[in-house]
Amino acid sequence: MTFLDSLRSRESYLDRIPKDSVGSLAQEKAALSNFDQFCEYKFKVSSDNMLRELRKINGTKQESVIFEMLQNFANFMVEEQHMTISTAKHYVTKIKNHLNYMIEIKIHNEDLRQNVRWSKEEQRDDYPYRLKRQD
């Protein structure tokens, strides 16, 4: 490990977000916090250890392991954390960006759409049905 490897950290990743983007920073931190919980819940390791292990894997195996992990993360948020699918998708995208930065791999949004499957989000109807009056 060289001194250049130590330049990439969670703090340096968060420092890249513009300081005037308070909402974006909060979303990134929330996604990272959920990822931390996921790693502890599913694998009993910290997210930092997870990233170290992902770095050790090379080639297409690394890509398939990452997509499998992202699918498990998506399932965890929807099934265990009871998040809406739209929020979970947003968090998975944030973690994908974090992985791109930390592991120095390029995962494109199209790859994410093809490899992470989502169930259909329930259509909520906030208003009860009413019968139309016929005059």
Q: Are the C-beta atoms of residues 28 and 63 closer than 8 Å to each other?
A: no
Residues with Cβ within 8 Å of 86's Cβ and at least 6 positions away in sequence, in order, are: 121
pLDDT confidence tier of residue 110, bands split at 50, 70 and 90: very high
Residues 15, 8 contacting (CB under 8 angstroms): no
Mean pLDDT of the chain: 87
Nearest to 10 by CA among 44, 46, 42, 48: 48
Q: Do the beta carbons of residue 67 and residue 115 sit within 8 Å? A: yes
Q: What is the pLDDT of residues 49-98, one digit of tens each?
A: 999 999 999 888 999 999 999 999 999 999 999 999 999 999 999 999 99
Q: What predicted TM-score, i.e. pTM, was given to this entire model?
A: 0.80
